[in-house]
A and B are shown apart, each in its own frame.
Chain A
Amino acid sequence: MTETALAATARPWRDAAAQPFISIRNITKRFGDFTAVNNVSLDIHRGELFCLLGGSGCGKSTLLRMLAGFETPSSGQILIDGQDMAGVPADKRPTNMMFQSYALFPHMSVEKNVAYGLLREGKSKAEAYARVAEMLKLVKLEPMAKRKPHQLSGGQRQRVALARALIKQPKLLLLDEPLGALDKKLREETQFELIRIQESLGVTFIVVTHDQDEAMTLATRIGVMTDGIIKQIGEPREIYETPNSRFVADFIGSVNLFEGRTGDSAEGRLRIETEDLGPVSANLPADQPPATGQQVWLALRPERVALSRAAPANAANVVPGVVEDVGYIGHMSSFRVRLANGRILRATQSSRLQDEDPISWDEPVFASWSPAAVRVLSE
């Protein structure tokens, strides 16, 4: 009982009765004939770090810009903290944005950039600069206060942009590809830095990104977007383990997808006839079991596929094949196994499992997986 209560406060989106902080209702944005955002509805709760994830042109930035007030929705409604944002210009919204290009004012020093928002609020200079000093401390940039943006490194600029966006203590911070311009190592450090700052200030973040690793690391929940619609909303684990479509399964991580037709079901198991793998036994999907004879797709994560030289006993699903390619990555190896009909099955094995005599090129192997590893998708 206490455990569920705890879970509900930490994860308010699991509680159907919780009042969302931001409500996006049937938002559509058209540019001429092009529909950038198509009838999107989304609820985001206070204190969330929500990631909008998608490829370029999927509409994620347009959605963010509508929240900031830079674009007007063609139809639909945006509520922030219960207040309808229709007709509220960007400078009157309780949101702040961190731009992809950072958009630092090149003619102002770091502290002037950060103070800009406070001075527009009518704060006195003394008060504003005291707050600026605090904020620069939070992002560890105190020694850079008097510098101009062009005298800073990419990572420092990113932190100035963050400080400037946070100084007005917005109810909602919008971040457009916040880590996009940083190199890989700096990006990984900054991800955790962002989470630290977000948790210490308790501001609600909406992050737009095309980088699935970034989304998985940062987000409390992810919305996967494509072609102007949100395909799936869920916690990182849900999105990864139980994708609701081939698009989401393929977009997040790597996956084996096979086409098949549903057969009989018994004892919580569903039989699926496939051309590539033969009959496959899968766990019956809890949400909506597909009707018999329906076309479905199987999603199988490579790390859920075990490889062995001998046929495993009692395995629910086994297929023979030949190792065509091995990629040794260090902590794991990735295998491409050619099946009897020529299709490729990808599998990864942790290095821990194959200390002695690892499986190598051209070896005949058996690939096996449990029914729980199979995700049945109807679209």
Chain B
Amino acid sequence: MSALSESRLWRGTTWALGRLGLSGRTLVIAVPMLWLLVFFLVPFIVLGRISLAEAIIARPPYTPLWERGPDGTLEIIASLENYRLVMGDTLYRNAYLSSIRIAVISTIFALLIGYPIAYFIARSPEPRRSILLLMVILPFWTSFLLRVYAWMGFLRRDGVINNMLMSLGIIDQPLVMMQTDFAVYIGIVYTYLPFMILPLYANLVKLDDALLEAAGDLGASPMVTFFTVTLPLSLPGIVAGSMLVFIPAIGEYVIPALLGGPDTLMIGRVLWDEFFSSRDWPVASAVAIIMLVLVVAPIMWLQSVQNRQELD
């Protein structure tokens, strides 16, 4: 490193970059910045621009942003009509609300199931921990789509669960599980559970045993210790895990499409319908942008809360 930093070529390059106002630090940041710019900001601007247009039967299927008037003046054609439509229509509103509800409930279940698992792994002796973690990550080796299809095999009318319960004589009519919200919850919780477990584990594994012993020593029962020490200290893990489940769950398309019924309304499906069935790109874009705002706003709020806590 030092040999490199002292070489003439190195010094020449840094000097030249310095003249351009670029230091090594800016260059390192430039790569992710460029990535975000090309794959996030540009598509977002395109989407925003389409959402202001009107659907027409053409290619591309929306009105241009500006037009030359007959007198040669430049006319900008943009309206918030699509937003008004999306926000005013109960169909969209119900789809948003239902998406949020499904995402919230799935996140809560993922937390309730994931927390004990993460806690158990974090408290296991070292060699066993790696094996248990591997088991959590293992399903990712199989395609996501395949795993959702596998659930259909379980939940079907003549699926594994119904067959088993019937042969055990617990039920005599097959349970209707497919094409219900229940199946959607199962699919989402199952799929995103590792995203809950991993950040929680990373947090809980750092928890100092001495803190738990200190709480016990001061008269806290194991239960009280959990609620006064373990849980507050694992809050950052809970927030991170919940975000990682909530965000993909709210826009989920595949799981409700495969496991959900016709009345499982989720914004991902509405989006798909608008884009591909109705070919109304402007409305679909407006739907997408509103969803983005709905998801990003609470995250930013949480971030600011966390920052404030750290400043304390």
Give the chain A neighbours of B78 by CB distance below 8 A. none
CB of B312, distance to nearest CB on chain A (Å): 7
Chain B CB within 8 A of A269 CB = no
**Total contacting residues, chain B, CB less than 8 A:** 18
CA distance A70 to B218 in the complex (A): 12
| Residue of A99, A104, A117, A120 ringed by the most chain B CB atoms within 10 A | A120
CB of A284, distance to nearest CB on chain B (Å): 49
Nearest-neighbor residue (CB-CB) of B312 within chain A: A148
Per a CB cutoff under 8 Å, which of B210, B217, B224, B229 touches A90? B217
Per a CB cutoff under 8 Å, which of A69, A89, A96, A106 touches B218? A96
A91 and B217 form a contact (CB under 8 A): yes
CA distance A99 to B216 in the complex (A): 12
What string of 1s and 0s marks CB contacts (under 8 Å) between B199-240 and chain A? 000000000101101111111110010001100110000000
Given contacts A120-B224, A148-B312, contact A105 B217 (CB under 8 A): no
Give the chain A neighbours of B208 by CB distance below 8 A. 101, 103
> Which of B258-312 touch A at CB < 8 Å?
312
CA distance A120 to B228 in the complex (A): 10
Question: Interface of chain B, helix or strand or loop or mixed?
Answer: helix
CB of B122, distance to nearest CB on chain A (Å): 17
A101 and B312 form a contact (CB under 8 A): no
Per a CB cutoff under 8 Å, which of B214, B219, B224 touches A103? B214
A103 and B210 form a contact (CB under 8 A): yes
Per a CB cutoff under 8 Å, which of B215, B217, B228, B312 touches A68? B217
CB of B188, distance to nearest CB on chain A (Å): 31
Given contacts A105-B229, A106-B233, A107-B233, contact A117 B210 (CB under 8 A): no
> Which of B83-116 touch A at CB < 8 Å?
none
CA distance A105 to B220 in the complex (A): 13
Nearest-neighbor residue (CB-CB) of A92 within chain B: B219
A91 and B233 form a contact (CB under 8 A): no
Give the chain A neighbours of B214 by CB distance below 8 A. 97, 99, 103-105, 164
Chain B CB within 8 A of A129 CB = no
A101 and B210 form a contact (CB under 8 A): yes
> Which of A92-123 touch B at CB < 8 Å?
92, 95-97, 99-101, 103-107, 116-117, 120-121
CB of A4, distance to nearest CB on chain B (Å): 39
B220 and A120 form a contact (CB under 8 A): yes
> Which of A62-86 touch B at CB < 8 Å?
68-70
Give the chain B neighbours of A231 by CB distance below 8 A. none
> Which of B122-167 touch A at CB < 8 Å?
none
CB of B67, distance to nearest CB on chain A (Å): 60
B216 and A90 form a contact (CB under 8 A): yes
**Total contacting residues, chain A, CB less than 8 A:** 26
A116 and B218 form a contact (CB under 8 A): yes
CB of A172, distance to nearest CB on chain B (Å): 12
Give the chain A neighbours of B220 by CB distance below 8 A. 91, 116, 120
| Residue of A70, A96, A99, A103 ringed by the most chain B CB atoms within 10 A | A103
B232 and A117 form a contact (CB under 8 A): no
Give the chain B neighbours of A116 by CB distance below 8 A. 215, 218, 220, 228
A70 and B213 form a contact (CB under 8 A): yes
Nearest-neighbor residue (CB-CB) of A174 within chain B: B217
Given contacts A105-B229, A107-B233, A148-B312, contact A117 B218 (CB under 8 A): yes
CA distance A95 to B229 in the complex (A): 20
Given contacts A105-B229, A106-B233, A107-B233, contact A121 B219 (CB under 8 A): yes
Chain B CB within 8 A of A168 CB = yes
CA distance A70 to B209 in the complex (A): 11
CA distance A44 to B218 in the complex (A): 22
CA distance A168 to B218 in the complex (A): 8
CA distance A92 to B217 in the complex (A): 8
Give the chain A neighbours of B213 by CB distance below 8 A. 68, 70, 90, 97, 99, 103
B216 and A89 form a contact (CB under 8 A): yes
CB of B13, distance to nearest CB on chain A (Å): 41
CB of B28, distance to nearest CB on chain A (Å): 29
A164 and B218 form a contact (CB under 8 A): yes
> Which of B51-65 touch A at CB < 8 Å?
none
Nearest-neighbor residue (CB-CB) of A106 within chain B: B233
CB of B82, distance to nearest CB on chain A (Å): 46
CA distance A92 to B219 in the complex (A): 6
Give the chain A neighbours of B215 by CB distance below 8 A. 105, 116
Give the chain B neighbours of A90 by CB distance below 8 A. 213, 216-217
CB of A278, distance to nearest CB on chain B (Å): 55
Give the chain A neighbours of B229 by CB distance below 8 A. 105
B312 and A120 form a contact (CB under 8 A): no
Give the chain B neighbours of A92 by CB distance below 8 A. 219
A96 and B210 form a contact (CB under 8 A): no
CB of B114, distance to nearest CB on chain A (Å): 21
CA distance A117 to B215 in the complex (A): 8
A168 and B210 form a contact (CB under 8 A): no
A103 and B218 form a contact (CB under 8 A): no
Give the chain B neighbours of A101 by CB distance below 8 A. 208, 210
Give the chain B neighbours of A168 by CB distance below 8 A. 218-219
CA distance A123 to B220 in the complex (A): 13
CA distance A120 to B220 in the complex (A): 6
CB of A203, distance to nearest CB on chain B (Å): 15
Q: A70-B216, A91-B217, A121-B219 are in contact. List 14 more A-B contacts (CB 8 A).
A: A69-B216, A70-B217, A90-B216, A91-B216, A91-B219, A95-B217, A96-B218, A97-B217, A99-B210, A99-B213, A103-B208, A104-B214, A120-B219, A164-B214
> Top 5 nearest A-B pairs by Cβ distance?
A117-B218, A103-B210, A120-B219, A103-B214, A90-B216
Q: List 24 A-B contacts (CB under 8 A).
A: A68-B213, A68-B217, A69-B217, A70-B217, A89-B216, A90-B216, A91-B220, A92-B219, A95-B217, A97-B213, A99-B210, A99-B214, A101-B208, A101-B210, A103-B208, A103-B214, A105-B211, A105-B229, A106-B211, A117-B218, A120-B219, A120-B220, A164-B214, A168-B218
